[in-house]
Amino acid sequence: MFDLVDSTIFFASYGNVFGLDNIAISSFDILLAYIVAILVAILVALALKIPLLPSKPYRYSFDVSAIYPTPIIAIGILSIFLVLNYTFVYNGLVLAAVIGVLSALFVKYLFYLVFPKPLDEDNGEGIDE
Locate the domains of the chain by residue range: 26-112
Closest CA to 64 of 80, 40, 46: 46
Mean pLDDT of 80-91: 83
> Which amino acid, 34?
Y
d(CA 37, CA 96): 5
Backbone dihedral region for residue 122 (phi beyond 0: left; psi -120 to 50: alpha; all else: beta): alpha
DSSP element (H, E) containing 107: helix 93-109
**Contact by Cβ (8 Å): 50, 66:** yes
C-alpha 61/C-alpha 59 separation (Å) is 6
Q: Is 116 exposed, middle or buried (0-12, 13-18, 19+ CB in 10 A)?
A: exposed
Query: What is the per-residue pLDDT across 42-82, written as a single tens digit (0 to 9) for each?
Result: 999 999 999 998 888 777 678 889 998 999 999 999 988 88
Prediction pTM value: 0.75
- In the chain, at which residue ranges do the beta strands (DSSP E only) sit? none
Please give the pLDDT value at position 70.
95
Q: Residue 18 pLDDT more than 60?
A: no
